[in-house]
Amino acid sequence: MAEENSKQDSTGSKTPETEKQNAATPAKKKRNGWMVGGIVVAVIVVVAIAFGVWHNQPSFCNSVCHTPMDPYVQTYDSDNPAMMSSLHRTEANMSCLDCHEARLGQQISEVGTWMDDATPVDANGMLVNHDTSVQASPENCLKSGCHDWNEVVDSTWGFEGNDEEFNPHSSHQNGSIQCSDCHKSHTNSVLYCAKCHDLNVPEGWEVPTDE
């Protein structure tokens, strides 16, 4: 009987051991496939999270588009209290996307413009015809989690040691002065009231000219 089994083995007949091995092979391959798939998914997730974190950093902007983003990132990092971008970084740990909402369509358009070298900039490398009032607007500045208008008004009577009658946020201009008339994100802010009144100006701020 042993000789018969031996002959069957030598002629290629399946023994119980080989049948067991063959049955285990598909299961092993399936298990390995799931492992490889899981690793690939994990890598994609990690890369996506890392990209998301980097995308929220100012360095992302000028890593992709040196022109015109370099000057804007430099002012953000400048520690200049007269520039709202720097002030928001130092006092509130805010990043670019806290004010500049990221819209995929707009970003694709901006990258396309940059690749065509069609981004208009001035002699200082700043964007030409850029509407800064979009960021320094009541809708943006007074949104939930940012500034409270009543607190802003209450805290700025007699600002910078001026007479208590002066308050740039409660002036005789009847609301005609916009946030962006004074507050500048990437250039020195301007004290609009000093155009007519002799006032102490905050550090780094400028007095408007007649131009």
Task: Identify the CATH number of the domain in which residue 184 sits.
Answer: 1.10.1130.10
- State the residue for tokens 């049948």: 19
Is 210 in the same domain as 143? yes
At 27-38, the pLDDT tens digits run 666 667 677 777
CA 181 to chain centre: 25
Q: Give the predicted TM-score (pTM) of the model.
A: 0.64
Does residue 18 surpass a pLDDT of 60?
no
pLDDT band, very low/low/confident/very high, at 2 (cuts 50, 70, 90): very low
Could you give the number of structural domains in the chain? 2
Residue 46: what pLDDT? 76
Could you tell me if residue 142 is inside a domain? Answer: yes
Of 89, 107, 123, which residue sits at a domain end? 123
Interval 139-165 mean pLDDT: 93
Residue type (1 letter), 13: S
Q: Find the domain containing 162 and state its range.
A: 131-211
Rounded Cα distance, 35 and 29, in Å: 10
- Average pLDDT, whole number, for the chain? 78
Is 204 in the same domain as 138? yes
Most confident of the following: 12-16, 69-73, 138-142, 200-204:
200-204
Could you tell me if residue 46 is inside a domain? Answer: yes
Structure letter (DSSP) for residue 190:
B
Q: What is the number of alpha carbons within 13 Å of residue 136 lying toward its C-beta?
A: 21
Is 110 in the same domain as 176? no
